[in-house]
Structure 1
């Protein structure tokens, strides 16, 4: 396929996309300006301005969540993205257990163990790719895009770069949300309190804050902002009922994700059991996509409460 080369309308950075993407939205890698990919080389792309700042919340939050989310997810324009999510999830399902230990004999009579963690490596790149798509879903939803965003792998190395960067960002977001739980677990261990129920409320708090952390990573795109807990609590306090709905759905979906089993755990079961487990894993992924869209809808409707 031929490539279309042009300059970013904001910073002048040279951008290049396949001609098949002409007419679609894209973002400059340098300044994050959103624009419409032009049809030919050198053409000035049309800017897509961010949502106007509003002083009051937008109405229709639950309508956007319940009535528009399913058509947005199962839309032929976003079919490639949905298929990518389901395919890489299936890949992880069947390969995550492929970890081996190779023992090499030594002259001293012992042996050296070499761990070949193929399954974990594949799972890491799969989750990194999924986190990248999740962030794009959140970001595009904020800009009133009612379909799943188009994805461009930029080749194998481009995918690896995006996967690693997204994996680090999401893991950092999770760790920062878990900081109170980590600190209090250490304090309780020093005091001799071993019951996990002692710090369980802090785990719930972490899951409660996770949607806001994901919004920060996906929209703010600055990991350091995750340390500003005042940024978290201002929108939560002002739109508590709506945020509680989003956070509750996140908690349910992540709990379902925790309950899923991979092929290595059920490989001795019947084909029917394996198929049902795979279907459950894929359904959980679709629910995760819905959760990310809900986070984007929350920001879109309550952007006036966000300090950033």
Structure 2
């Protein structure tokens, strides 16, 4: 683990422009207990709900890929004015109550000091570590955005090809290798049957890129075209170690056991298959690459200095 910390710190020094206005220990004087408060609340939630890791990872990704990491995803619609929460890809984002609880505790300890954007980043990091993933240092100093527009939400879809998904990542200055590493967060994620049915034989014909045994298993969960399962059941993206942050996801997609089409495409596309194979064979390499990619993603178009604001309530802009 010490080697991972060293590699992550070296990575930070290689990004002077992207992280110039963020720094480790940003709250060391203004709110020295900030990171401990975040960690305590995430730990408490993880004890009762291990799926919080997947929820926070998804929230963090969906926030950073729209207007940058500025907590714009947290804003509630109000008075007929919409927000990012209402956009299709975000209607199933979870974990807002965890952020609310952390914010209340931080406002009590250090009023008007810690941004909601930093809360998302820190809470996500801590939830990954609790699930068995890397524990990495997170630069802080983000400020909260002043805009949350549902029409600006444009994210990679569950059936995208590698090239389609990569366009979204390169637009945010992320590389193919970083995209493959970040999608490895699916190792603790889940989807719902409505995103899988089109690949199943019970709903028409099996996607030839899907393992037949997985097709049968998912058919038992999701039902058939004549009798679809009620309540749109959830399906784990990692069928073996569903709540453990490891490299099992990559091993499975190499065996045609990718649940989402975008996941299987990573293993089948010539441009990304080598990266997938590398992560499948070396869990340490995946952990380090994931940590580095998360740090880089967390620096996308951040607001710093006097830009934006420090929200008192993460769900609403300050008045």
> Structure 2 length normalisation: TM-score?
0.23
User: Greater share of strand residues, 1 or 2?
Assistant: 1
Give the helix-richer structure, 1 or 2.
1
